[in-house]
Structure 1
Amino acid sequence: MDLVGYRQDVFAGIEKEYREFLGQFKAVPQQIIPVSAKLGDNIANRSEQMSWYSGPTVLDALSAFRKEPGRSEQPLRLPVQDVYKFDARRIIAGRVTAGQLKVGDSLVFSPSNKRATVKSIEAFNSDPPPVEGHAGQSVGVTLDEQIFVERGEVASHQDELPLVSTAFRANVFWLGRKPLERGRRYQLRVATKEVDCEVATIHRIIDTMDLAQQQGSSVVNRNQVAELTIRAKAPVAFDLSASFEATGRFVLVDEYDIAGGGIVTELVHDDQEFLREEARQRDFAWVKGQVGVEDRAQQYGHRAAIVLVTGGRHTGKSFLARTIEARLVADGRHAYLLDGGNLRRGLDADLSEGERGQATEMARRYGEVARLLVDTGLIVVSTTNPFGMAYVEAAQAIRTLVHPVPVIAIHMSKAPEEVPPNTDIVLSGPADFDTATRRILEELKRRGVLAQAIGAKPIFQYSI
């Protein structure tokens, strides 16, 4: 400041310019202090030359910084790495990225909303066994009841849950050999969760060489930073990066290569949010019997799942659904055809025409019935869009209500058309139902629903 005569107007102009510049990146400076490095003005003592400045000195500003709480003092975050079965124990393994847990704690697993109490904490060659785990430790826990939990879920305490959505806003640094493209499918990895995703919106691009900004682009080139909205195939548990580092950052995988990394900056509310909240409240109060999902899987020889057959009119989807059900039962599986017409004539028979026109409510009813059926361990074969809404929205509503049960989506069309998002198998043109059925059964096997080769006697080893 001594070079400009300690002028307040010069400092005010510089301060305004820097705040505007940093504001583009959502960075808010704690203090901007006018100093003279040569003469020490406002370094340790207040400057007589700048009586117009009333803020702290550099030393006072540094002393005012507060140390952030240690990771063990934060709310609990335990991403599930895997589930192992030893003798009669099912051990949920993972690394505590924040917080701490102890025997007797009640845990909620997101996004499935499953709840249980920590029965024990397992550790290799530890005598006596530990009774608590802290941030940074890799632990294994057993629960007081058998619940279906899979890799990618995040354990937390009930009053400090992570965010859950299929969409979020993020800052991404792209390093891929191919440009990042809006609408193209990538794999998203958040903590231990791996799920297909696509870039829904590219809000702006920042060139790391000159910080120039660009808007309206549909691609992000190598070494560019971009603000994006990412939409995932299934609900993901995450946090804002400003609150939790490990569950607030992610990578994008393009053709088996890690092509970009990013941080979550904002939750994007999707159209399934109210259904997730309803499912959360339902699952918290769900009355469980003595027979769990593992018991049914061992007895039936397969996991519960839903096969969704979608498509327009006269594509043969109803016939294909009946064919799949018959083939599964012939192979010794426990399957059931859930037809929308049966629900309309039964469960929904007392609804008025106006109530039947509420597509979201009809989808909710359909999904809740499907949830009851998969809770019995069945493979449910279902056709969607029986309730006046697009099959894309209908399929997503059902996925939300039955999560984390696997959902295999099959789309049928008479001619090639744009494939709906989150589709596993596409069948276009004249239908060969035998070939289509075999493809679907192989997909069920690939997804771990069927444990044995098609036609074999089921001998199912349930490991997750």
Structure 2
Amino acid sequence: MSNTAAVRIDDTPAPAFSAAPMKIVVVGHVDHGKSTLVGRILNETGALPEGKVEYLREVCDKRGMPFEWAFVMDALQAERDQGITIDTAQIRFATQFRPYVIIDAPGHKEFLKNMITGAASAEAAVLVIDADEGVQEQSRRHGYLLHLLGLRQIAVAVNKMDLVNYDQTRFEVVKAEIVAYLNSIGVEPTYVIPVAARGGVNISENSAETAWYKGPSVLGALDLFEQARPATDLALRFPVQDVYKFDQRRIIAGRIESGRLKVGDTLVFAPTGKSARVASIESWGVQSLSAVSAGAGQSVGITLDEQIFIERGQVASLAEAAPAVSHTLKARLFWLGRNALKVGSRYKLKLATAEYAVEVIAIERVIDVEDLANHPGAEVGRNAVAEVVFRSRTPIAHDSFLDNPRLGRFVVVEDYDIVGGGVIAEAGGIHQAHKSANITEVAHKVDFETRALANGHRGGVVWLTGLSGAGKSTIAMEVERQLFLKGWQVMVLDGDNVRHGLCSDLGFSPEDRAENIRRVGEVAHLFAQAGMLVITAFISPYRADRDRVRTIHPDVFHEIHVAAELDECEKRDPKGLYKKARAGQIPEFTGISAPYEAPEAPELALVTTGKPADESVAELVRYLEANFSLTARNQTESWGF
């Protein structure tokens, strides 16, 4: 193989030889000649084992059937009998410019799952279309799937030109049709090539049969494709596979999907936002020193310099390039389930090593690949493609597919069966831990215990959560008044009040709710550190958001569930919000059109149904005096601020 770049037929310089293989997926309508094309490519590049073609010719002679280049790829006996490709095959070959892994994917709609498996890892694609039959439904479907998977380098091979006598007019008609379709879905085909794969026309070099065609051959087009950025050049994404305990060490194991990490790096774990430095990179089964760095594709174990809680599914990144974290995902989806996907349906979404319980909250459009019509309906049928929005009960760490495919591709599972796959169209929500490297924490000269002794009570965060109308604000304000009259340093952060200032820029989407609670949690803990008892009154519907506030300083966080039945809250409806929500005037209203996740183990549950507010106030005051007053606790006990 030559290392010298050459000039192709279209005068575009081809790249110098690269040792890294490029993955190419070959797709198209059944019987349009995909496997024949691949078989011919392998023959033209000398990739077939010696005697392979002769053996297949003998098999065909014994069966009384003509030799087909497709049989090179159709390795399964069932495929030879049925004449269709039902599995993906990966075979290597090389041109003078670089090696390739070419993926021959099935075209029949019953085997679309196999096709998605093949196309998911490809860097570029060849879409095969029969010159005689023209663009078919599966041609459009596969074209959209390539768009859905984010592929932008696509060569269209208009095959079987021999059946139309190499007619340029017919080629231009088919070309115009497929280009118009691909353009309509935002894809610009890189090359459209007239091909007769059976005879090898325009496979490795231009042929006299199509003297009117001036572009590159199929292999020439492949050599002109740009190779994807190495995974090591992308932002670090280290999904946690598991956490093991050896000796006194807690080893966090997983596969680095992109980027690099090294000893001393500060990692941020999404979606919790916890951070720690890499103390060591461990290896198993080898008698060597631990590594000092590791990169994409490596399965490693790491230890951290402090014992923070990490679990499977969390994603480690560097602070300056963290993934987005959101309760909602906007996705492009290819649906394979026998049951239609509908608004309100619930599934399991698998992304990297994490699994999320998700609900379909919107189907923005369904694309009919036959006529390109958009249907805003409430369901997506089998083998259809759609743009949908999922909502998760827990925050999802993710990237958009174009930014980082390793954390931008997912599958959907129903009853243990994969029923769909897709890519994240855009990264939403917040990006955690965008911290400057030039920030240094400054220590206070008045510590937490000194403030507590001066106040007669410790500071803390008392987090009241519950449905709207449960009584949170009423109880919080009266408790604040009574404790203040006793000389306590106490204040209330109320949900409505902070949205007039601190959080006036936020709405009520799941991601905005999460950011609202994050801000309030940080403020509350700052006041607690100053020695004040902070009582918050927020619906705070998502358990994960409250847990994240707790992790800021667990020792001073007390979760109080102000519990009332939904019908009781609706009867009270002090702000008239339930009435508006039932009328459809307030979208995403907790308890009606959005979920509320009650605490699993609150420090205190105040049941307010059928109970005067004064009783709940008295119960909470007794609890606070018992847990925060210095007269009720050992004054030398340290809470560790």
AA partner of residue 388 (structure 2) = L
> Counterpart of 1:340?
493
Kept in 2, the 8 Å contact 1:198–1:230? The answer is yes
Superposed displacement of residue 121, structure 1:
1.6
Kept in 2, the 8 Å contact 1:33–1:55? The answer is yes
1:228 aligns with 2:388: yes
Kept in 1, the 8 Å contact 2:495–2:537? The answer is no
- Mapped partners of 1:373, 1:169: distance in 2: 37
Q: Deviations over 1:53-100 (max 9, x none)?
A: 432122311332455456556543211234445554332222223344
> Counterpart of 1:425?
598
1:182 aligns with 2:343: yes
Q: Deviations over 1:115-138 (max 9, x none)?
A: 433211223444334314444443
AA partner of residue 156 (structure 1) = S
Kept in 2, the 8 Å contact 1:411–1:423? The answer is no
SS at 1:424's partner residue? coil
Which residue, 113, 119, 122 being the options, matches 2:282? 122
- Mapped partners of 1:257, 1:229: distance in 2: 21
- Mapped partners of 1:432, 1:176: distance in 2: 47
- Mapped partners of 2:277, 2:332: distance in 1: 36
> Counterpart of 1:196?
357
Relative to 1, partners in 2 of residues 1:126 and 1:2: Cα closer, same or farther, differing over 3 Å? Answer: closer
- Mapped partners of 1:410, 1:175: distance in 2: 43
> Counterpart of 1:317?
472
Q: Return 5+ residue gaps in structure 1 as ranges.
A: 290-303, 325-335, 386-390, 438-464
Relative to 1, partners in 2 of residues 1:250 and 1:121: Cα closer, same or farther, differing over 3 Å? Answer: same
AA partner of residue 369 (structure 1) = V
> Counterpart of 1:366?
520
SS at 1:130's partner residue? coil
1:171 aligns with 2:332: yes
Kept in 2, the 8 Å contact 1:165–1:267? The answer is no
- Mapped partners of 1:312, 1:82: distance in 2: 39
Q: Deviations over 1:225-283 (max 9, x none)?
A: 433122333432223445655422323355x645534222411534xx4xx56x64389
Question: What RMSD in Å do the two structures reach over aligned CA positions?
Answer: 5.1
> Counterpart of 1:96?
256
Q: Scaled by the length of structure 2, what TM-score is found?
A: 0.48
Kept in 1, the 8 Å contact 2:242–2:312? The answer is yes
Alignment of 1:208-219 (within 5 A): 215-219=375-379
Q: Which moved more, 1:134-143 or 1:414-423?
A: 414-423
- Mapped partners of 1:186, 1:38: distance in 2: 45
Q: How many residues align?
A: 388
Kept in 1, the 8 Å contact 2:411–2:420? The answer is yes
SS at 2:594's partner residue? coil
> Bigger radius of gyration, 1 or 2?
2
1:109 aligns with 2:269: yes
Q: Deviations over 1:407-446 (max 9, x none)?
A: 998774425674353411399x971679xx9xxxxxxxxx
Superposed displacement of residue 193, structure 1:
2.6
> Counterpart of 2:538?
384
SS at 1:15's partner residue? helix
Q: Scaled by the length of structure 1, what TM-score is found?
A: 0.63
Relative to 1, partners in 2 of residues 1:46 and 1:360: Cα closer, same or farther, differing over 3 Å? Answer: closer
- Mapped partners of 2:324, 2:502: distance in 1: 32
Kept in 2, the 8 Å contact 1:167–1:268? The answer is no
Superposed displacement of residue 164, structure 1:
3.4
> Counterpart of 2:419?
260
Kept in 1, the 8 Å contact 2:279–2:303? The answer is yes
Superposed displacement of residue 318, structure 1:
4.7
1:162 aligns with 2:323: yes
> Counterpart of 2:14?
none
Percent identity between matched residues is 36
SS at 2:219's partner residue? helix
- Mapped partners of 2:410, 2:438: distance in 1: 29
Kept in 1, the 8 Å contact 2:266–2:276? The answer is yes
AA partner of residue 357 (structure 2) = D
Kept in 1, the 8 Å contact 2:326–2:395? The answer is yes
Which residue, 302, 305, 311 being the options, matches 1:141? 302
> Counterpart of 1:20?
180
Which residue, 249, 252, 260 being the options, matches 2:409? 249
Superposed displacement of residue 29, structure 1:
3.2
Higher RCO (CA < 8 A, seq sep 6+): 1
- Mapped partners of 1:372, 1:187: distance in 2: 38
Superposed displacement of residue 214, structure 1:
5.7
- Mapped partners of 2:269, 2:529: distance in 1: 18
Relative to 1, partners in 2 of residues 1:397 and 1:30: Cα closer, same or farther, differing over 3 Å? Answer: same
- Mapped partners of 2:371, 2:533: distance in 1: 53
SS at 1:370's partner residue? helix
AA partner of residue 309 (structure 1) = T
Q: Deviations over 1:19-57 (max 9, x none)?
A: 233456655533111245577654444456656543212
Superposed displacement of residue 396, structure 1:
10
SS at 1:61's partner residue? helix
- Mapped partners of 2:289, 2:190: distance in 1: 46
> Counterpart of 1:79?
239
Q: Deviations over 1:198-222 (max 9, x none)?
A: 22321334679x7986612212345
